[in-house]
Amino acid sequence: MHSEIPAVYTDKHGSIQTTINNDSVTLSIELDGIVFSGDTFIYFQPETTLALPGRFTLGELGQLTDYTLSCRIPISTWKEGIQIPGVLLTQVEYKEAATRLDYNAPYFHFSFELEEETIQIGKLSQFEGVFEILREKLPENIDIKTCYTCLYSDYSVYGNDIFGTMLCFRNAKDKYVKVKDKDEYMDMMDDFDRIVQETYLCEDFTPRIKGTGYRG
């Protein structure tokens, strides 16, 4: 599934209105004619080997740094069975030096736009937890359909990245829903179908049932 995410990139030279192209694996953003790509909203590397314009700063691993990025991520949102516009708003300031001082840095500021209302989610270092907090703040007649809220998604017991490292068990549904503890999960964890983003959605979506699967 391909999606386009409206975004604003800001550095010491000003702001650029742009679009992040998301192919469900890689995020690509064009800035002043240069394409940068990555997978977590904060680790973009240039797709060219040519010298970059002076406005861009690269970190030790060749990643874009010293910028603020604001995004409007479309989210499948439903009200009483009717799809309505829902947008996850994110803003992150990425400075490589800050990550050396704080292991959890950078932090995202999350909110959700729904029916002309902005619901504050808060400050988090990764996308895990965003929809948990949002669910507590949404009216009962609003449903969010994403991989994170799907019955057949989970994270590795060995940890996860900021964004985009959910395991999809749509190919092993019966085995996954019977998992009761960590040992049972580890026995079948490598049977996942693919790795997906928290905001992704496919035709196998099934609402998560509390207490089902390893994530519960």
Spell out the domain ranges in the chain.
3-137, 146-196
> Can you tell me the distance from the alpha carbon of 171 to that of 176, in angstroms, rounded to the nearest whole number?
9
The token pair that represents 122 in the structure block: 């808060």
Q: pLDDT by residue for the chain (216 residues), tens digit each?
A: 789 999 999 999 999 999 999 999 999 999 999 999 999 999 999 999 999 999 999 999 999 999 999 999 999 999 999 999 999 999 999 998 878 778 788 999 999 999 999 999 999 999 999 999 999 999 999 999 999 999 999 999 999 999 999 999 999 999 999 999 999 999 999 999 999 999 999 999 999 998 899 998
> Can you tell me the distance from the alpha carbon of 146 to that of 39, in angstroms, rounded to the nearest whole number?
17
Torsion angle, CA of 140/143/146/148, rounded to 10 degrees?
A: 20
The helix or strand, by DSSP H or E, that contains position 57, with its residue range, turns out to be: strand 57-58
